[in-house]
C-alpha cells in the first residue's frame, strides 16, 4: 500500500517505489512512504495564504477552543491507533505515552488559552514611559508570524511528536507542514486522516509529508519556523543550510543526548530512594525499547555502590520480558525497524571496545510470541565504565536503544563533572532525599541540562519520571541536545510570534492594543459602569468618584478591624529614622476605601469581584489628605459558557488609580470583575 501525502487540500499518492515500512514485530511489509513529486513551495504558499490567513484572524480564545474540540474528537477514537502503534514495536504502555500523551498535550494547550487575551495578538509586559510628561510611551506586542511551521520529526513518537508541536503553533495562529519519519509515518498518517476528516481545523492549517521530504526546506522564508527532532548530526546539517542562515529562519533543534541519572550518596541500599533509582533507570532503558531522546544513557553512582547498583539493576532487567507487545506479560517490544537495530548494534560494538558489558547479550536472549530473526528485537545492554574520566566513549557515543552505562563517582563534584561531560542534554535526574545534595547538583549542572528531575519518596507517587516532557515545561537543552526549546507553556507559543515594539501616544496605543494605557484618554458616562453589561463597556471608560478626606479615626478604626497595628499606622512616637513624616494610612485601607467609593451598591450585571492583578502604593497618605478614585475599563476578556445552564459572562480588568489633593497618584492597581453579558445564548 502506498501512503498518500496530504498537500494543497487533498490526498496525493507518492510517486515511485517509495521507502518500505515494515512491521517491527513480524517483519511484514506495511506500506511504502514517499514524497517525490510534491511541490513544497506551493504547499508553503497554500499554508500561508489559506490556513495562515484564517488562523491569524482568530483570537487566542477561538484557537484554544478549536484545539479543545480536536482533543475531544481524537480522545474519543484513540483506541483505533493502538493496533497500528504495536506494529512500530511499542507496547501498550509505550503507545499510551505516544497516543494519549499526545492528545493530553492538545488538552493542555487548549486550556492555555486562558492565559492569553481574547485577541489575535498578545500584549507583552508593561508599558514603558518614554517621555517626561507621559505623552510618548512604548509597549511590546506579539503577533503571529506570516509563515508556516515545518516540523521534521523523529521515528520514536509518531503521534506525540506531531501533536506536541502543532498544539503550540496552532494556538499561536501559524499553520504547519508535518514531516514524520518515513519509518513510522503510517501511524501519523492515520491520525492526520481523522483530523482532516473532522473538519475542525481550517483548510491549509495542517499538511503531511510521509516520505523523506528531500527539498522541504528549499522554499523557506524569514517568516517560517523550522523545528527538528532527531540525531544531532542531521540537525546540525539542516541548521547550516544556506537558506536557513541567509534568511535568518528560526530553527528549533531538539537532538538525542546522553542524558544522565545520578544516585545521591545518601540513597544507599535499603532506602526508598535506592529502590526508586533502580526502578527509574530500568524504566528508562526499556520504555520504547530505549528509543527516547530523553532515555538515561549514563548511570552515575557513588563508587562504593557500583556493585549494588549493577546487581539490583541486572535483576530488574532480567524480569523484563521481551516480545510481541500484543502478548500478555510482554514488557518490552522491538526497536522500530531492523535497520535501526543494526545501527544500535554498531554503537554497542563501538562502546564494547572501551567498556565492559555486565548485562545482556546482542545475540543470546529470549523473546515471547515472535520470531527473533524477523522482528527488530534486542536485549537490554548494560555497560560498566570503571574509569569514566579516562574512557570517554560513554560521553560521546549514543546507542539509541535499550543501552546504558554505569559509571562511578568519588564525590558530588565528580558526579556533576561526569554529568556535564555529555556536553548538553535534554534532561538529567538525581535521586536523593538530601536537600543540600540536590541544590548543589542543580547549581552545578543546570547550565548543561534542559531539565533536572529531583526524585525522592515525597514526590515519587505523582512524579512523571525522568523521561516524560510535560506540556507546560520546557523541552530542549543546550549543546549536544540542540540548543532549542519546545512546549514550556506560554514560552513555546512565543516562538511562533513576532515581537514588535510599538510607540506613540497612550490614547493611540490604547486603540491599537485594546488595552487601556496609563495616561490615555478617559471618557465618562452618566450610567455607572457597574450597571453595564460586558458588551456595553468600552475600553477607556472611566468613573471619577466622589472624594474622601482621610482622618486619624479612619486609620485607627481600620487597624482595629483588620488587626494590622504596624507601628507606622498607630504609633507616631516610633517614626524617627523612617521615611514617614507622621502617622500613615494603611495601603489596604486605601484599597478598601477606593472600593467603597467606586462600587455601585445595587444589583446589576457585575456578578463578583474576581481578584486583584497588581497593586502599588506609590505615595504615603497622611491624615487630612483628600483622595479620589478613577476607575477605568482597562481590558475585556471573553469567557465561553461551560454548559447550557451557565451564565454568559466575561472578565473585565479595571485600572484603579487613587489620587490626592495635589492630583498625584498614591495608589495604582488593577482589579478583575466577572460581568454578565446581554446575550445569554
User: How far is Cα 4 from Cα 276, in angstroms, rounded to an integer?
Assistant: 45
Distances (CA, A) of 478 to 257, 355, 624: 10, 27, 59
User: How far is Cα 643 from Cα 262, in angstroms, rounded to an integer?
Assistant: 48
Active site residue 581: no
Catalytic residue among 164, 182, 254, 273: 254
List CB contacts of 413: < 8 A, sequence separation 6 or more.
444
User: How far is Cα 441 from Cα 416, in angstroms, rounded to an integer?
Assistant: 6
Q: Coil, strand or helix: which one is 588? A: helix
For residue 677, how many C-alpha atoms fall within 13 Å in the half-sphere facing its CB? 16
The total number of residues written for the chain in this structure: 681
Q: Give per-residue burial for 643-654: e unless 16+ CB within 10 Å, then b.
A: eeeeebbbbbbb
User: How far is Cα 663 from Cα 668, in angstroms, rounded to an integer?
Assistant: 13
Q: 500 near 141, Cβ under 8 Å?
A: yes
User: How far is Cα 341 from Cα 406, in angstroms, rounded to an integer?
Assistant: 22
Cα Rg, the chain, nearest whole Å: 30
**Kind of pairing between the strands at 4-7 and 548-549:** unpaired
Torsions phi, psi for 37 (to 5 deg): 95, -10
Our measurement of the distance from residue 554's CA atom to the centroid of its chain's CA atoms, rounded to an integer in Å, reads 49
> What are the E-state strand segments in 36-188?
122-129, 137-144, 149-152, 176-179
Q: 98 near 90, Cβ under 8 Å?
A: yes
User: How far is Cα 274 from Cα 280, in angstroms, rounded to an integer?
Assistant: 10
Torsions phi, psi for 284 (to 5 deg): -70, -30
Distances (CA, A) of 304 to 388, 415, 570, 598, 672: 15, 13, 63, 70, 59
Active site residue 413: no
Catalytic residue among 210, 261, 293, 633: 293
Q: Catalytic residues, which ones?
A: 254, 293
Amino acid at each position: 500500500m502506498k501512503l498518500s501525502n496530504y498537500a494543497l487540500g487533498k490526498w496525493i499518492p507518492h510517486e515511485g517505489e517509495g521507502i518500505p515500512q515494515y512491521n517491527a514485530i513480524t517483519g511484514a511489509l506495511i506500506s511504502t512512504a514517499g514524497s517525490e513529486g510534491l511541490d513544497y513551495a506551493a504547499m508553503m504558499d497554500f499554508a500561508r495564504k489559506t490556513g495562515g490567513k484564517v488562523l491569524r484572524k482568530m483570537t487566542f480564545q477561538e484557537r484554544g477552543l478549536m484545539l479543545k474540540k480536536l482533543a475531544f474528537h481524537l480522545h474519543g477514537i484513540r483506541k483505533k491507533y493502538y493496533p497500528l502503534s504495536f506494529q512500530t514495536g511499542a507496547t501498550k504502555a509505550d503507545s499510551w505515552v505516544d497516543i494519549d500523551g499526545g492528545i493530553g498535550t492538545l488538552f493542555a494547550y487548549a486550556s492555555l488559552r486562558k492565559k492569553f487575551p481574547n485577541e489575535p495578538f498578545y500584549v507583552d509586559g508593561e508599558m514603558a514611559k518614554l517621555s517626561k510628561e507621559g505623552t510618548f510611551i512604548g509597549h511590546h506586542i506579539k503577533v503571529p508570524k506570516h509563515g508556516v511551521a515545518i516540523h521534521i520529526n523523529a521515528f520514536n513518537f509518531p503521534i506525540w511528536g506531531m501533536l506536541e508541536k502543532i498544539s503550540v503553533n496552532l494556538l499561536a495562529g501559524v499553520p504547519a507542514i508535518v514531516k514524520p519519519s518515513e519509518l513510522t509515518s503510517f501511524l501519523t498518517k492515520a491520525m492526520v486522516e481523522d483530523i482532516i476528516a473532522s473538519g475542525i481545523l481550517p483548510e491549509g492549517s495542517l499538511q503531511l509529508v510521509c516520505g523523506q521530504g528531500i527539498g522541504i526546506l528549499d522554499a523557506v522564508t524569514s517568516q517560517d519556523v523550522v523545528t527538528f527532532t532527531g540525531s544531532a548530526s542531521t540537525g546540525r546539517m539542516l541548521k547550516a543550510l544556506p537558506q536557513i542562515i541567509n534568511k535568518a529562519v528560526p530553527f528549533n533543534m531538539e537532538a538525542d543526548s546522553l542524558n544522565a541519572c545520578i544516585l545521591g550518596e545518601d540513597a544507599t541500599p535499603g532506602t526508598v530512594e535506592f529502590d526508586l533509582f533502580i526502578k527509574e533507570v530500568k524504566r528508562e532503558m526499556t520504555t520504547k525499547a530505549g528509543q527516547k531522546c530523553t532515555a538515561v544513557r549514563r548511570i552515575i553512582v557513588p563508587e562504593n555502590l557500583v556493585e549494588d547498583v549493577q546487581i539490583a539493576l541486572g535483576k530488574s532487567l532480567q524480569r523484563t520480558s521481551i516480545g510481541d507487545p500484543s502478548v500478555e506479560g510482554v514488557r518490552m517490544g522491538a526497536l522500530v525497524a531492523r535497520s535501526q537495530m543494526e545501527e544500535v548494534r554498531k554503537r554497542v560494538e563501538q562502546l564494547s571496545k572501551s567498556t565492559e558489558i555486565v548485562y545482556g547479550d546482542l545475540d543470546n536472549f529470549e523473546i515471547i510470541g515472535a520470531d527473533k530473526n524477523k522482528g527488530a528485537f534486542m536485549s537490554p545492554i548494560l555497560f560498566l565504565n570503571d574509569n569514566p574520566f579516562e574512557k570517554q566513549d560513554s560521553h560521546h557515543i549514543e546507542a539509541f536503544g535499550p543501552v546504558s552505562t554505569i559509571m562511578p563517582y568519588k564525590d558530588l563534584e565528580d558526579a556533576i563533572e561526569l554529568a556535564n561531560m555529555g556536553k548538553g542534554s535534554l534532561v538529567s535526574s538525581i535521586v536523593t532525599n538530601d536537600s543540600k545534595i540536590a541544590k548543589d547538583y542543580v547549581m552545578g549542572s543546570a547550565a548543561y541540562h534542559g531539565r533536572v528531575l529531583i526524585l525522592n519518596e515525597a514526590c515519587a507517587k505523582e512524579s512523571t519520571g525522568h523521561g516524560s516532557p510535560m506540556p507546560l515545561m520546557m523541552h530542549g537543552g543546550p549543546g549536544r541536545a540542540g540548543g532549542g526549546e519546545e512546549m514550556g507553556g506560554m514560552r513555546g507559543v512565543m516562538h511562533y510570534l513576532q515581537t514588535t515594539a510599538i510607540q506613540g501616544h497612550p490614547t493611540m496605543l490604547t486603540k491599537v492594543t485594546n488595552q487601556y494605557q496609563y495616561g490615555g484618554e478617559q471618557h465618562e458616562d452618566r450610567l455607572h459602569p457597574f450597571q453595564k453589561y460586558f458588551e456595553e463597556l468600552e475600553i477607556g471608560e472611566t468613573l471619577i468618584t466622589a472624594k474622601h478626606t482621610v482622618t486619624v479615626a479612619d486609620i485607627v478604626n481600620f487597624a482595629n478591624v483588620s488587626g494590622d497595628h504596624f507601628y507606622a499606622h498607630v504609633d507616631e512616637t516610633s517614626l524617627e529614622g523612617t521615611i514617614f513624616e507622621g502617622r500613615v494610612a494603611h495601603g489596604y485601607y486605601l484599597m478598601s476605601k477606593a472600593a467603597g467609593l467606586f462600587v455601585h451598591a445595587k444589583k446589576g450585571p457585575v456578578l463578583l469581584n474576581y481578584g486583584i492583578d497588581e497593586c502599588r502604593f506609590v505615595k504615603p497618605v497622611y491624615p487630612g489628605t483628600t483622595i479620589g478614585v478613577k476607575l477605568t475599563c482597562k481590558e475585556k476578556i471573553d469567557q465561553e459558557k461551560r454548559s447550557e445552564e451557565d451564565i454568559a459572562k466575561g472578565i473585565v480588568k479595571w485600572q484603579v488609580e487613587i489620587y490626592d489633593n495635589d492630583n498625584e497618584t498614591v495608589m495604582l492597581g488593577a482589579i478583575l470583575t466577572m460581568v454578565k453579558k446581554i446575550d445569554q445564548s
